[in-house]
Amino acid sequence: MLVSKEFSFDAAHNLINYQGKCEKLHGHRWKVRVTIKAPVNKNGIAYDFIQLERMAKKRAISKLDHSYLNDLLPQPSTENITLWIWEKLKDLPLYEIKVWESPTSSVTYRGGDFKKTV
């Protein structure tokens, strides 16, 4: 069973070695979806939403909210933010992390090989 919880946070960043408007300091209302994969237990529950929310907020979302993302990541692209969140939650049975920087632009990561830049 796939269980998802969505979050939002507000943060500012600027992209390094990037030519375009995103090289300048700007902010977003980011949206994050954390999806885990777990079997349904005898009580009919795959994973407790409250537990998932607490862990995601404590380990990742609270650190990102109202921050200057360049202080956390050398290159705070949406791709690197997605990988950073995955790393913070990697002991959970993660299936997917999806991060939107706008209503029409997002990055999805499902684990596996990648060239790590975070």
Residue 54, pLDDT above cutoff 70: yes
Number of domains, the chain: 1
Catalytic-labelled residue, pool 6, 23, 26, 66: 66
Would you call 22 a catalytic residue per the annotation? yes
Burial 20-30 (b: 16+ CB within 10 A, else e): eeeeeeeebeb
Beta bridge pairs of residue 8: 31
Residue 84 forms part of a structural domain = yes
- Residue 9's domain spans which residues? 2-109
Is 43 exposed, middle or buried (CB count within 10 Å of its CB: 0-12, 13-18, 19+)?
exposed
Catalytic-labelled residue, pool 22, 23, 26, 87: 22
Average confidence (pLDDT) over 103-110? 98
Q: What is the mean pLDDT of the chain?
A: 96
Residue 118 forms part of a structural domain = no
Q: Kindly report the pTM of this predicted structure.
A: 0.93
| CATH number assigned to the domain comprising residue 50 | 3.30.479.10
- Give Cα separations from 108 to 34, 42, 46, 71 (angstroms): 10, 31, 22, 23
Residue 13, pLDDT above cutoff 60: yes
Tokens for 67, please give them.
């921050």
Would you call 79 a catalytic residue per the annotation? no
Would you call 26 a catalytic residue per the annotation? no
